[in-house]
Structure 1
Amino acid sequence: MSDAMLLGVDLGAGSLKATIIGIEGTVQGEATVPIRTDMPKPGWSEQNPEDWYSGLCTAVPKAIKQSGVSAGALKAMSFSAGAHTPVLLDSNDQVIRPAILWSDLRSSGEARELLEMAKEEILRISFNLPAATWTLPQLLWLQRNEPDSVAAAKRLLIAKDYLRLRLTGEWHIDCVDAAGTMMADVRSNTWSPELYNLIDWDPLTLPPIVEPTRHIGNVSKRGASDSGLPEGLPVIAGTMDTAIETFGAGSINPGDGTIKLATAGTVCVVSDRSVAHRSVIDYPHVVPGRYFSITGTNSCASAHRWLCDLFYSPGTTKGAANIFEVMDLEASKVPAGSDGMLFHPYLSGERSPYWDEKLRADFIGVTMRHSRGHFVRALYEGIAFSLFDCNLCFKAEGLEMETVRLIGGGSKSATWSQIVCDVFGKPVSVPVNGDASFGAALLAGVGIGVFASEAEAVSQCVRVARVFEPNVERTALYRDLFEIYKDSQASLASINHRLFNFSLGQVGT
């Protein structure tokens, strides 16, 4: 199968991407289609699953065309998407309501209730503790606020599984995404009556659980007509985006760490122990017998875009390829520490390590000497500090990153990458291809036997584009500044809460 082509499809927070690779790991074709997010109320985030499928049917033909090969050259495909995102289907497999995203905060109250009700039981079985990002509290919110939607639901799917259902007609969930629902027993890879009974959820709506590399069906005649894929193309189950990005970046051994600078920022570390931690999120890894722990900050590249829209006018690139290069150039001219300016990146509340939807972002220490380049560098540094803050949760649980790989759109910035390297004080490798659609394509190859194992896929296809080395003096400076970052975060938390309540009209609370 030396001429085999493999297709990976990833549904991200704001776009769907299709990537075609050869078995040596070279990208042959790719295409991206934007996906709209609706925010009908503050703190809510929803998407229409029909938009996902439309995006797939647009992106796949474009990727095939760019590759210069026929669709018939494809030998298998697989999927990834954000975890937790529930899709409810009725008896005719029609979408009942928009899908609630992982970033949605509406079920924060339900998450707190579940913590009080069954904290130890949930942790023991699911390896994690409830927060608004998980499916279990989201479903409890739906039961209370949209009971008709729940009553009509005959199938529950997570985002990528809806796309696969549309192409194949097959209904499954992989063990990693099943863990992300907070209704599965992670040790046995089975649905847990103790968990789904906490919210009286009907187990008949839950799909069969399989391994991420399972061949679960083939592209149907209808799916082929819609997407331009060949009828009968083998489809591999796939898994959640962070798991597949970690795999695609080459992080498969205990101690391998991955930092992601994307819409949200994440820090992951691989281990060979199945342990329920209290301060980090835990999942099964793509590699059988391995696990990965993850923490994350809500606002990363999304904060970068926000600052760009505020300070930089479209078209004013000053000879650079794009505005982001202008931002990077200006930030690179600012000294480490941004001349005493700090940024806390809580533009959408915060997940790890605070799990506090009432936190708010800030720039502090601003003076008249500060330029917009200072604001950009402070943003880079503040997000790096937030990720380092998350990383401390690993240390508290006895986990340690021995190697660091950097992925996501932010890794294209040499300035930002070096800041992350200096803040963490470790060498940082940037893979040639580090996105989830690339990892999904690799997984498709494992699923049909093109690669004998996940390790062989990584060895054969994952290559490093650049390595950053930490500067000892800057690392020491950043350690001192991080202490100020932490102290100011603690001092401002109560003020953030008061401002949050003020914004809701709860003056004086």
Structure 2
Amino acid sequence: MAALLGIDLGAGSLKATLIDETGATLAEAAAPITTHNPKPGWSEQDPAEWWQALCTAVPQVLEKAGIAAGDIAAVGISAGAHIAVLEDAKGEVLRPAIMWNDQRSTAEAAELHERAGEMIIATGLNRANPTWTLCQLAWLQKHEPQVLARTERLYIAKDWLRSRLTADWTTDYSDALGALMSDVETRGWSPDICGLIGWDMATLPPVGAPEAIAGEVTEAAARATGLAAGTPVVIGSNDTTVELYGAGAIEAGQGAIKLATAGVVFLACDRPEVHPPVSCYPHIMPGLWYMASGINACATAHRWVRDTFFADLPKETAFAEMDRLAGTVAPGSDGLIFHPYLMGERAPHWDPKLRAAFIGLTLGHTRAHFARACYEGIAYALNDVLRTAKDLSGASFGDMRLLGGGARSATWRQIIADVTGLTVKVPANGDASFGAALVAGVGGGVFASPQAAVARCARILEENRPDAGRHATYARMFDLYDAARRGLTPVSHRLHAQQHESV
């Protein structure tokens, strides 16, 4: 029986998953990744650490599975979108990779939108904001022109990591679109958008299909990773694209909510739905697209609450205790509301100056309330995204797959169902490394088609249905959450200005 290896470069770790041709997990392994924040609002990673993490996780997953490297039929890699790696003529990385949640290019994004916003949206389907590579490159032109002068090749994160395995230089359309430098008509790079910042298109990689074979594992990469030389590696796609696909949302109207470092809302659709600031991407399934929009701090906020309010507990048990305590508190947390804007906010407000807040505190509140308010606040933020997507597109959301580490919490799952009013389903395998492995299986010939891979491998473990009474309670609480956000926005902006004046 053939094995398939999926590798996902996440914001906090790199994960390797081995599955068989029925979708059963043979083994998993992970290695941590460090994010650096050299200035407020900045977020960077060292690509060399990505490769080190891959060289750690892959031998571990092979050992855990107890299979020979030669049993792997194909490899797929995914990573976060928008993350560019710049190399010089010698193949040396020129600077740390700017992450998707970095906010430094706010001014450049605003200038690009004012100058050519309609063209960018019509051509690249999305609006310029600091998440997109185009805006980050515009910032680098102003502040680090010496780096761009030496740039010979631009990679997107998953492509750079794959190039360490195969020495190829290719991307897929979803990641080209994620750079906000592509053309929907040609499904390639856009001369018009690149021309806005004078970008040399010779530095941009060829574009191919996610399931296409990009190359084979080289002898050098085999020695570093334990993989067999000659193993096929597919081009792959970004994490959100393969997650939605691997979760089994392969028909228009099906969607997902991801509880990971960032919180993301997805909805599959049968045509491009262009409703900035909601993002639009091509699906793995031919002819399908999906809308996606995300909040900056999901698991990040969850972890911050753990480290701040549960620091006396061992980290390996603190999350479980948070979950238990959150389940002892009534919906609404007795009036305690959490805004999870610890890193500003992306969707739906696109305001890097927003600040997080707990409001409504009384002497009756305990840390159990803080735990539940954390879950509820993140659910409110995701509901804010859902509400905006519905208002902009008129789309109807059916049941939603729940992805990411947060999906393990029964309490959090039910809170999300009750806040949103939607049934949430938990896939047996709901992460990007699983989706990347399925894409590898299609390219490697293990599955006859993308549909066949999902039909054979994607399964639902359990579901949470919303309770009408709790949904009504949360509808009232969400109104207060939103009113408080609007009222506190001017205060957040003044605090931001004061902080930056003192830096």
TM-score, normalized by the shorter chain, greater than 0.5? yes
Letter in structure 2 aligned against 1:307: V
| 2:442 aligned with 1:446 | yes
| 2:498 aligned with 1:502 | yes
Q: 1:332 maps to which residue?
A: 327
User: C-alpha root-mean-square deviation of aligned residues, in Å?
Assistant: 1.2
- Give runs of aligned pairs for residues 356-395 of structure 1, distance below 5 A: 356-395=351-390
Q: Which of 334, 342, 366 in structure 2 is aligned with 1:347?
A: 342
Q: SS where residue 501 of structure 2 aligns?
A: coil
Q: 2:317 maps to which residue?
A: 322
Q: Answer yes or no: is the 8 Å Cα contact 1:394–1:400 preserved in 2.
A: no
Q: Distance in 1 between matches of 2:276 and 2:89?
A: 39
Q: 2:268 maps to which residue?
A: 270
Q: SS where residue 165 of structure 2 aligns?
A: helix
Q: Distance in 1 between matches of 2:379 and 2:51?
A: 35
Q: 2:466 maps to which residue?
A: 470
Q: Distance in 2 between matches of 1:244 and 1:134?
A: 19
Q: Distance in 1 between matches of 2:308 and 2:124?
A: 41
Q: What whole-Å deviation, never above 9, does each CA across 1:375-410 have from its counterpart, x for those lacking one?
A: 111111111011011001221212221121101011
Q: Distance in 2 between matches of 1:463 and 1:86?
A: 34
Q: Answer yes or no: is the 8 Å Cα contact 2:273–2:291 preserved in 1.
A: no
| 2:199 aligned with 1:201 | yes
Letter in structure 1 aligned against 2:55: C
Deviation at 1:426, TM superposition (A): 1.7
Q: 1:188 maps to which residue?
A: 186
Larger mean CA deviation between 185-194 and 14-23 belongs to 185-194
What TM-score comes out, normalization by structure 2 length?
0.98
Q: Which of 118, 121, 127 in structure 2 is aligned with 1:120?
A: 118
Deviation at 1:505, TM superposition (A): 2.2
Q: Distance in 1 between matches of 2:37 and 2:294?
A: 21
Q: 2:398 maps to which residue?
A: 402
Deviation at 1:312, TM superposition (A): 1.1
Evaluate the alpha carbon distance shift between residue 151 and residue 400 of structure 1 in structure 2; reply closer, same or farther with a 3 A threshold.
same
Letter in structure 2 aligned against 1:405: R
Deviation at 1:262, TM superposition (A): 0.5
Q: Distance in 1 between matches of 2:69 and 2:429?
A: 22
Q: Answer yes or no: is the 8 Å Cα contact 1:279–1:393 preserved in 2.
A: no
Q: Answer yes or no: is the 8 Å Cα contact 1:80–1:436 preserved in 2.
A: yes
Q: 2:226 maps to which residue?
A: 228
Q: SS where residue 221 of structure 2 aligns?
A: helix
Q: Answer yes or no: is the 8 Å Cα contact 1:153–1:205 preserved in 2.
A: yes
Q: Distance in 1 between matches of 2:185 and 2:474?
A: 40
Q: 1:411 maps to which residue?
A: 407
Q: Distance in 1 between matches of 2:502 and 2:125?
A: 36
Q: 2:278 maps to which residue?
A: 280
Q: 2:158 maps to which residue?
A: 160
Which 4+ runs in 1 deviate beyond 2 A? 313-317
Letter in structure 2 aligned against 1:375: F
Q: Distance in 2 between matches of 1:376 and 1:315?
A: 14
What TM-score comes out, normalization by structure 1 length?
0.97
Q: 1:15 maps to which residue?
A: 13
Number of residue equivalences? 502
Q: Which of 296, 299, 318 in structure 2 is aligned with 1:298?
A: 296
Q: Distance in 1 between matches of 2:386 and 2:245?
A: 19
Q: Distance in 2 between matches of 1:187 and 1:256?
A: 25
Letter in structure 2 aligned against 1:28: L
Deviation at 1:186, TM superposition (A): 2.4
Q: Distance in 2 between matches of 1:244 and 1:473?
A: 35
Letter in structure 2 aligned against 1:108: T
